[in-house]
Protein backbone atom coordinates (compact mmCIF):
# COMPACT_ATOMS: atom_id res chain seq x y z
CA UNK A 1 0.00 0.00 0.00
CA UNK A 2 2.80 2.46 0.92
CA UNK A 3 4.48 1.73 -2.44
CA UNK A 4 1.55 3.46 -4.16
CA UNK A 5 2.25 6.80 -2.47
CA UNK A 6 4.36 9.37 -4.34
CA UNK A 7 4.69 11.88 -1.50
CA UNK A 8 3.40 12.47 2.04
CA UNK A 9 1.93 15.99 2.27
CA UNK A 10 1.03 16.08 6.00
CA UNK A 11 1.93 13.41 8.52
CA UNK A 12 -0.18 12.12 11.43
CA UNK A 13 1.29 14.57 13.96
CA UNK A 14 0.81 17.62 11.73
CA UNK A 15 -2.82 16.58 11.19
CA UNK A 16 -3.44 16.12 14.94
CA UNK A 17 -1.92 19.55 15.71
CA UNK A 18 -4.20 21.19 13.17
CA UNK A 19 -7.28 19.39 14.50
CA UNK A 20 -6.48 20.59 18.03
CA UNK A 21 -6.43 24.19 16.71
CA UNK A 22 -9.71 23.70 14.85
CA UNK A 23 -11.30 22.10 17.93
CA UNK A 24 -10.29 25.03 20.15
CA UNK A 25 -11.74 27.55 17.70
CA UNK A 26 -14.99 25.61 17.23
CA UNK A 27 -15.38 25.17 21.02
CA UNK A 28 -15.32 28.96 21.36
CA UNK A 29 -17.51 29.73 18.35
CA UNK A 30 -20.24 27.18 19.20
CA UNK A 31 -20.37 27.77 22.96
CA UNK A 32 -24.01 27.63 24.18
CA UNK A 33 -25.39 26.51 20.77
CA UNK A 34 -25.51 22.69 21.13
CA UNK A 35 -24.56 22.17 17.47
CA UNK A 36 -25.61 19.15 15.44
CA UNK A 37 -22.28 17.95 14.04
CA UNK A 38 -22.77 16.06 10.78
CA UNK A 39 -20.13 13.68 9.45
CA UNK A 40 -20.17 13.31 5.66
CA UNK A 41 -19.47 9.62 5.12
CA UNK A 42 -17.41 7.88 4.22
CA UNK A 43 -14.42 10.18 3.78
CA UNK A 44 -14.86 12.29 6.93
CA UNK A 45 -15.13 9.42 9.43
CA UNK A 46 -11.60 9.69 10.84
CA UNK A 47 -11.56 13.51 10.91
CA UNK A 48 -14.97 13.53 12.64
CA UNK A 49 -13.77 11.20 15.40
CA UNK A 50 -10.58 13.17 16.03
CA UNK A 51 -12.31 16.55 15.77
CA UNK A 52 -15.14 15.95 18.27
CA UNK A 53 -12.60 14.72 20.83
CA UNK A 54 -11.07 18.20 20.60
CA UNK A 55 -14.35 20.12 21.02
CA UNK A 56 -15.12 20.66 24.70
CA UNK A 57 -18.72 21.94 24.64
CA UNK A 58 -22.02 19.98 24.46
CA UNK A 59 -22.88 18.82 20.94
CA UNK A 60 -24.79 16.08 19.14
CA UNK A 61 -23.58 14.01 16.21
CA UNK A 62 -25.22 12.45 13.19
CA UNK A 63 -24.07 10.88 9.93
CA UNK A 64 -24.96 11.29 6.29
CA UNK A 65 -23.49 9.19 3.48
CA UNK A 66 -23.04 10.99 0.18
CA UNK A 67 -21.16 9.87 -2.88
CA UNK A 68 -20.16 11.34 -6.21
CA UNK A 69 -16.74 9.88 -7.04
CA UNK A 70 -17.42 6.13 -7.20
CA UNK A 71 -14.38 4.29 -8.61
CA UNK A 72 -12.92 7.40 -10.28
CA UNK A 73 -10.56 10.29 -9.51
CA UNK A 74 -13.12 12.71 -11.02
CA UNK A 75 -16.52 13.62 -9.61
CA UNK A 76 -19.41 12.11 -11.57
CA UNK A 77 -21.26 15.39 -11.00
CA UNK A 78 -24.20 13.37 -9.70
CA UNK A 79 -24.40 13.65 -5.93
CA UNK A 80 -26.44 10.95 -4.20
CA UNK A 81 -27.62 10.57 -0.60
CA UNK A 82 -26.84 6.97 0.36
CA UNK A 83 -27.83 7.38 4.02
CA UNK A 84 -29.81 10.29 5.42
CA UNK A 85 -29.69 11.88 8.89
CA UNK A 86 -31.58 10.27 11.76
CA UNK A 87 -32.68 13.56 13.38
CA UNK A 88 -34.42 16.68 12.02
CA UNK A 89 -32.21 19.75 11.49
CA UNK A 90 -35.01 22.30 11.74
CA UNK A 91 -33.97 25.16 14.04
CA UNK A 92 -30.54 23.62 14.68
CA UNK A 93 -27.07 25.11 14.33
CA UNK A 94 -25.53 22.55 11.99
CA UNK A 95 -21.79 21.95 11.59
CA UNK A 96 -20.91 19.93 8.49
CA UNK A 97 -17.65 17.99 8.83
CA UNK A 98 -15.98 17.24 5.49
CA UNK A 99 -12.65 15.60 4.72
CA UNK A 100 -12.05 17.50 1.48
CA UNK A 101 -13.61 20.13 -0.77
CA UNK A 102 -12.59 19.63 -4.40
CA UNK A 103 -15.10 20.69 -7.10
CA UNK A 104 -17.47 21.81 -4.33
CA UNK A 105 -20.38 19.84 -5.83
CA UNK A 106 -20.91 17.58 -2.80
CA UNK A 107 -20.97 20.46 -0.36
CA UNK A 108 -23.15 22.77 -2.41
CA UNK A 109 -25.70 19.97 -2.70
CA UNK A 110 -25.56 19.25 1.02
CA UNK A 111 -25.83 22.90 2.11
CA UNK A 112 -28.86 23.28 -0.14
CA UNK A 113 -30.54 20.20 1.37
CA UNK A 114 -29.92 21.37 4.95
CA UNK A 115 -31.10 24.93 4.27
CA UNK A 116 -34.29 23.66 2.65
CA UNK A 117 -34.92 21.68 5.84
CA UNK A 118 -34.88 25.00 7.75
CA UNK A 119 -31.74 24.58 9.81
CA UNK A 120 -30.99 27.71 11.85
CA UNK A 121 -27.43 27.97 10.50
CA UNK A 122 -25.10 25.87 8.37
CA UNK A 123 -21.34 26.03 9.01
CA UNK A 124 -18.69 23.97 7.24
CA UNK A 125 -15.38 22.67 8.58
CA UNK A 126 -13.12 20.81 6.18
CA UNK A 127 -9.74 19.32 6.93
CA UNK A 128 -8.49 19.64 3.35
CA UNK A 129 -9.29 22.01 0.51
CA UNK A 130 -8.25 22.14 -3.14
CA UNK A 131 -9.28 25.72 -3.93
CA UNK A 132 -8.03 25.67 -7.52
CA UNK A 133 -10.44 22.86 -8.45
CA UNK A 134 -13.79 24.53 -7.75
CA UNK A 135 -16.57 24.34 -10.33
CA UNK A 136 -19.05 25.93 -7.91
CA UNK A 137 -18.22 29.06 -5.95
CA UNK A 138 -18.11 28.12 -2.28
CA UNK A 139 -15.75 28.24 0.69
CA UNK A 140 -15.64 26.42 4.01
CA UNK A 141 -15.94 28.50 7.18
CA UNK A 142 -12.98 26.62 8.71
CA UNK A 143 -10.21 24.88 6.74
CA UNK A 144 -7.29 22.78 7.96
CA UNK A 145 -4.93 22.60 4.99
CA UNK A 146 -4.97 23.84 1.39
CA UNK A 147 -3.69 21.24 -1.05
CA UNK A 148 -2.31 21.38 -4.59
CA UNK A 149 -4.30 20.03 -7.52
CA UNK A 150 -3.32 16.38 -7.13
CA UNK A 151 -5.35 13.31 -6.21
CA UNK A 152 -4.69 12.55 -2.55
CA UNK A 153 -5.46 9.57 -0.32
CA UNK A 154 -5.25 8.63 3.34
CA UNK A 155 -6.75 9.87 6.61
CA UNK A 156 -10.22 8.79 5.41
CA UNK A 157 -9.80 9.62 1.72
CA UNK A 158 -9.90 6.81 -0.80
CA UNK A 159 -9.16 5.82 -4.31
CA UNK A 160 -11.64 3.07 -5.31
CA UNK A 161 -12.30 2.49 -1.57
CA UNK A 162 -8.62 1.83 -0.75
CA UNK A 163 -6.08 3.79 1.33
CA UNK A 164 -8.61 5.29 3.81
CA UNK A 165 -6.67 3.72 6.69
CA UNK A 166 -3.36 5.50 6.00
CA UNK A 167 -2.62 7.79 9.00
CA UNK A 168 -1.25 10.60 6.77
CA UNK A 169 -2.43 12.44 3.64
CA UNK A 170 -0.38 11.70 0.55
CA UNK A 171 -0.35 11.98 -3.22
CA UNK A 172 -1.18 8.79 -5.06
CA UNK A 173 1.22 7.78 -7.84
CA UNK A 174 -0.61 8.52 -11.12
CA UNK A 175 0.31 5.07 -12.46
CA UNK A 176 -1.94 3.57 -9.76
CA UNK A 177 -5.11 5.12 -11.19
CA UNK A 178 -4.12 5.19 -14.85
CA UNK A 179 -3.38 1.46 -15.13
O1 LIG B 1 -15.93 18.77 -3.75
P2 LIG B 1 -16.20 17.46 -4.43
O3 LIG B 1 -15.62 17.43 -5.83
O4 LIG B 1 -17.66 17.10 -4.42
O5 LIG B 1 -15.39 16.34 -3.66
C6 LIG B 1 -15.40 16.16 -2.27
C7 LIG B 1 -16.18 14.96 -1.85
O8 LIG B 1 -15.73 13.80 -2.55
C9 LIG B 1 -15.37 12.78 -1.64
O10 LIG B 1 -16.44 11.92 -1.39
P11 LIG B 1 -16.81 10.67 -2.34
O12 LIG B 1 -17.93 11.06 -3.26
O13 LIG B 1 -15.57 10.13 -2.97
O14 LIG B 1 -17.40 9.64 -1.29
P15 LIG B 1 -16.60 9.00 -0.04
O16 LIG B 1 -16.56 10.08 1.01
O17 LIG B 1 -17.45 7.85 0.36
O18 LIG B 1 -15.22 8.60 -0.51
C19 LIG B 1 -14.98 13.54 -0.38
O20 LIG B 1 -15.09 12.73 0.76
C21 LIG B 1 -15.95 14.70 -0.37
O22 LIG B 1 -17.16 14.37 0.26
O1 LIG C 1 -8.13 14.10 -4.02
C2 LIG C 1 -9.08 13.37 -3.61
N3 LIG C 1 -8.85 12.14 -3.07
C4 LIG C 1 -9.84 11.33 -2.64
N5 LIG C 1 -11.13 11.66 -2.71
C6 LIG C 1 -11.42 12.85 -3.24
N7 LIG C 1 -12.63 13.42 -3.44
C8 LIG C 1 -12.42 14.61 -3.98
N9 LIG C 1 -11.10 14.84 -4.16
C10 LIG C 1 -10.44 13.74 -3.71
MG1 LIG D 1 -14.27 8.89 -2.26
Please report the domains of the chain, with CATH numbers, ordered by start residue.
Answer: 13-150 (3.40.50.2020)
Write down the pTM of the prediction.
Answer: 0.96
> Which ligand 1 atom is nearest residue 65's CA?
17
Residues 85-121 have pLDDT tens digits of 999 999 999 999 999 999 999 999 999 999 999 999 9
Mean pLDDT of 39-43: 96
Mean pLDDT of 168-172: 97
CB distance 14 to ligand 1 below 6 Å: no
pLDDT in tens, 56-83: 999 999 999 998 876 777 777 788 899 9
CA of 162 to the centre of ligand 2 (A): 12
The percentage of residues in the chain with a pLDDT greater than 70, rounded to a whole number, is 98
Query: How many CB atoms are closer than 10 A to CB 48?
Result: 23
Question: Which residue blocks in 62-166 are alpha helix, DSSP H?
Answer: 105-116
Active site residue 62: no
Amino acid sequence: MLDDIKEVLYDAQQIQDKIKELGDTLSRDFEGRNPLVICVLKGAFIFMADLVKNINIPLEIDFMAISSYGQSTKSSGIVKIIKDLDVPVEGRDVLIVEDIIDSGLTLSYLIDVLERRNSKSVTVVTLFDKPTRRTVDLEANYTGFSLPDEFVVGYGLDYAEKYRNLPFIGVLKPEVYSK
